Structure 1
Amino acid sequence: MARPIRLEFPDAIYHVTTRGNEGADIFVDDQDRQLFLTVLGEVVSRSGWIVHAYVLMNNHYHILLETPNSNLSRGMRQLNGVYTQRFNSLHGSTGRVFQGRFKAVLVERAHALLELCRYIVLNPLRSKAVKNISRYRWSSYRATAGEVQAPTWLSTGWILAHFGRSSNVAQRKYAEFVEAGIGLASPLSKVKSQILLGSAGFVKKMKQRLLGKADSRRDKKRPGRPVLGTLFPLKVRNEKTQRNEAIRRAYQKFGYTMAEIADAAQVHFSTVSKVIKLGEQAG
């Protein structure tokens, strides 16, 4: 199945998730979880993202976020890249922490946003990590329900506005809403075209945007240029010298962007930038 095209525009809302490389845990302990939240807060501050809900599981995470500045991919490269660097430094390890490309579903605000917020924070119950959702520290549930102070980068106002004007009433009704969702089917089961969640009208409109972006990409392709993924088979990705040569060819000969190359090579954007810079200096 072909990788879906990223669709980014101001004020878009996404459910994003990334899993550990080869299914491995991305958090060894609570220190790692706190480290990830620190990095997330830094990215929110720089990017202007609005985070509505999140949960950290052992080998993946979920975030529901809004992008006023149309910068999802850039922010995600920072989030996963900086966390990987700090994780490896902390544990004396090397290599990838995350499994390739992050997954993002574009969400219609009026259609499924509340249900997604609920689905995200219920993950620890579904996985049987806890029996009481209030006992799970690593999600937005407790802050939104008023049980703990919310971090400065978490926005609870939009959710709580649906449940009452008084904070106490809204928080109580939010908790009841979440509890009522236990056992319900995932709203993600209604995703269309791998990346769209919303009404029929929303899906149709976004598909038109996707087609326009695909046409634009085709117009930019050079005659005879190879598909980027063919330059980075597993053997090449796993051998540093071959990988770096493929990065330079993709950029200098075939005109792919650094961001596109980073996705295909499954490395951080800064790695691609460094390889290309060193190549230019040597050449």
Structure 2
Amino acid sequence: MARPLRIEYADAVYYVTSRGSARADIFLTEADRQAFLDILASVVEKYNWLCHAYCLLDNRYHLIVETPHPNLSLGMRQLNGVYTQTFNRAHQRSGHVFQGRYKAILAEKGSRLLEFCRYVVKLPVQVGLVAKPEEWRWSSYTNTAWGVKVPAYLTVDWVLDQFAERRTTARQRYCQFVAEGLAGPVRPEKKPFSHIFLGSDAFAAGMRKYLEARQGMRNIPRAQRYPGRPPLSRLFTDIQAENRLQRNMRISEAHITYGYTLQEIADALNLHYSTVSKIAAAKRNK
């Protein structure tokens, strides 16, 4: 079975979800949930993501994330990979935690995305875990609705800006918006192509053209898949040979932000692949 298509570009927004292998629980304790959020925080910081909403259930999680750089796959690999290691170590087990790859739906910023932000935070009520969304600790609802202790990995501004400029008014309207959603269907009505992206008809048309252009993408040179990215020679042109800290930061930038492979970076710097791989791994694990 072919892997689902991944569409990545600067400032893309996604609804992301991943469930447990064989639908088993991926969170057994509160410590598991906190560990996941800690890892999410590190991913958001490292890859410069914006997380607009999230919810951790028992056997799956849901995120609404925006990627200023085309790096969703890189971040998700770290999020699910590091959590798998953490979960297995905590519970003295081995093997897969998640069922296959994550699911990501490309979204247009607008009313449809706002519906999915609501969908994410109302899930604990609609699956019977709690009676009210504010009773569930492991979602972005209370941070967005009340503005109390908003963690660094969560961005509430875009959601609240959809309701009013004044934050008090915006939060009141947000709470009303979520309450109204609880009376409706569990999930927003799907439109054509909703398994790949969601948004307006114009957005859908643009994405169809994008997908058509991507046919045969494997035959297109990697440099052309990231239009506007600087060549490696420019990224490393002002690096002093003895300044390893600066060099290592540029290696991370080339790999994470611009999508260069570790082998391409190694060749450009006349370094061994394993050296570049260790540098990149050290940056990911910080």
- Partners of 1:157 and 1:197 in 2: CA distance: 21
Partner of 2:61: 61
CA positional deviation for 1:77 = 0.1
- Partners of 1:3 and 1:93 in 2: CA distance: 27
- Partners of 1:87 and 1:76 in 2: CA distance: 16
Q: What is the identity percentage for the equivalent residue pairs of Structure 1 and Structure 2?
A: 45
Partner of 2:208: 207
* Letter paired with 1:94: S
> Which structure 2 residues correspond to residues 110-259 of structure 1 after superposition, within 5 A?
110-146=110-146, 148-185=148-185, 186-187=187-188, 189-190=190-191, 192=193, 194-217=195-218
The alignment of Structure 1 onto Structure 2 pairs a total of residues equal to 225
Q: Deviations over 1:241-277 (max 9, x none)?
A: xxxxxxxxxxxxxxxx999xxxxxxxxxxxxxx9xxx
Q: For residues 11 and 59 of structure 1, do their structure 2 counterparts lie closer, same or farther at Cα, with a shift above 3 Å needed?
A: same
Runs of 5+ unmatched residues, structure 2: 222-259, 263-276, 278-286
CA positional deviation for 1:147 = 5.8
CA positional deviation for 1:219 = 6.0
Runs of 5+ unmatched residues, structure 1: 221-256, 260-273, 275-283
Q: Deviations over 1:137-190 (max 9, x none)?
A: 000000000163111110001111122222222111111111011132322622
> Which structure 2 residues correspond to residues 94-105 of structure 1 after superposition, within 5 A?
94-105=94-105
* Letter paired with 1:108: E
- Partners of 1:193 and 1:144 in 2: CA distance: 26
Partner of 1:32: 32
Helix, strand or coil: the match of 1:86?
A: helix
Q: Tell me which stretches of 4 or more aligned residues in structure 1 moved more than 6 Å.
A: none
- Partners of 1:77 and 1:94 in 2: CA distance: 18
TM-score in terms of structure 2 length: 0.74
Partner of 2:254: none
- Partners of 1:99 and 1:189 in 2: CA distance: 23
* Letter paired with 1:212: A
> Which structure 2 residues correspond to residues 61-100 of structure 1 after superposition, within 5 A?
61-100=61-100
Contact 1:5 1:210 in 2 (8 A): no
- Partners of 1:144 and 1:10 in 2: CA distance: 25
Identify the range of structure 1 (141-150 vs 18-27) with the bigger mean alpha-carbon deviation.
141-150
Q: CA RMSD in A?
A: 2.2
- Partners of 2:206 and 2:147 in 1: CA distance: 40
Contact 2:113 2:199 in 1 (8 A): no
* Letter paired with 1:187: P
CA positional deviation for 1:65 = 0.5
